[in-house]
Structure 1
Amino acid sequence: MTSPNIGTVVPDMELASTGAKTVKLSDYRGQYLLLYFYPKDNTPGCTLEGQAFRDAIADYTALNTVIIGISRDSVKVHEGFKSKQAFPFDLLSDSDEQLCSLFEVIKLKNMYGKQVRGIERSTFLIGPDGTLIHAWRKVKAQGHSDDVLALLRTLAA
């Protein structure tokens, strides 16, 4: 399966989610779907990014946008992270890297002088019709939510 390009329909996938449920991407047709991939729960950058999305949830809701966070952490770890940070959105466990592979976010990264495979912080906006509208890669957590909201406001205008 090749990575979706801007303007193409994103293939449907099903993953385990917080809240003891299974989520399919197609469940969100009719709304904008913001998928943000992050490396690891309870780390500084990932916490900052999630908090920014959390703090702007009213703006996202007003723009008909659902937010979903995705990492390779287990649902159990996600539940603790979500609860601790009071995230009002679901976190999906992609432990088998199904969705990560589709969006090509697994990269070789340098950590403490060693190369490791990990998620490159990336965000994807899927339109109400299921097509990929925008991709942000190599995201910096600080200010990213503002950039996403700016694009959504442009689309709503």
Structure 2
Amino acid sequence: MAAKIALGKKVPNFKIASSSGEEFSLSDYKGKKVILYFYPKDSTPGCTTEGIEFNDMLSQFKKQNAEVVGISRDSLKSHDKFICKYDFKFQLLSDEDEEVCKLFDVIKEKNMYGKKVMGIERSTFIIDEDQKLVGEFRKIKAQGHAAEMLQFLKGLK
């Protein structure tokens, strides 16, 4: 398993399939902030709430020179349906092999209907223009999270 990325440290470049139709490469976003939010599953209540809130605030994130990117283990086909249903204007990344999930250490044991399963712990990471990790938020609540991330961005120097 990859070493956990520490606050203040450079995030290693990664490439991953994106709903944009092109491969997402972190290095392509040098000079911009990236809000990378991990969520458990497309079209579930919490994930839908979180996606809609980020989408509604997208122009405010762009004013902060920030790109919003969602990521889950769902397929691109699933992401496309999710994007179409809610008209998301940002890309969703498909991490079916959990490579990026492992890089950010977001796969955790969860309790689903009394069964222990491994799944994505809702988490958000803020990467600055120099590709350093400047914000790490784990075990977050979906509702109101986008607004919290915007406030965090506004507080960065």
Relative to the length of structure 1, the TM-score reads 0.97
Total equivalences in the alignment:
156
Deviations 1:99-140 (A, max 9, x none): 000100000100010000100000000000000001000010
SS at match of 1:46: helix
Deviations 1:73-110 (A, max 9, x none): 00111011011111110000000000000100000100
SS at match of 1:129: coil
Superposed structure 1 runs of 4+ greater than 6 Å apart: none
> Partner of 1:33 in structure 2?
34
TM-fit CA distance, 1:19: 2.4
1:91-130 to structure 2, matched below 5 A, reads 91-130=92-131
> Partner of 1:11 in structure 2?
12
TM-fit CA distance, 1:29: 0.6
TM-fit CA distance, 1:150: 0.7
Distance 1:67 1:98 in 2: 19
Identity of aligned residues (%): 50
Gaps of 5+ in 2: none
SS at match of 1:21: coil
SS at match of 2:23: strand
Say what the alpha-carbon RMSD is for the aligned residues.
0.7
Relative to the length of structure 2, the TM-score reads 0.97
1:2-151 to structure 2, matched below 5 A, reads 2-151=3-152
Gaps of 5+ in 1: none
Deviations 1:54-88 (A, max 9, x none): 00011001000001000000011101101111111
Deviations 1:7-33 (A, max 9, x none): 000011100000221010111110000
| Letter of the structure 2 residue corresponding to residue 16 of structure 1 | A
SS at match of 2:135: strand
Distance 2:104 2:63 in 1: 27
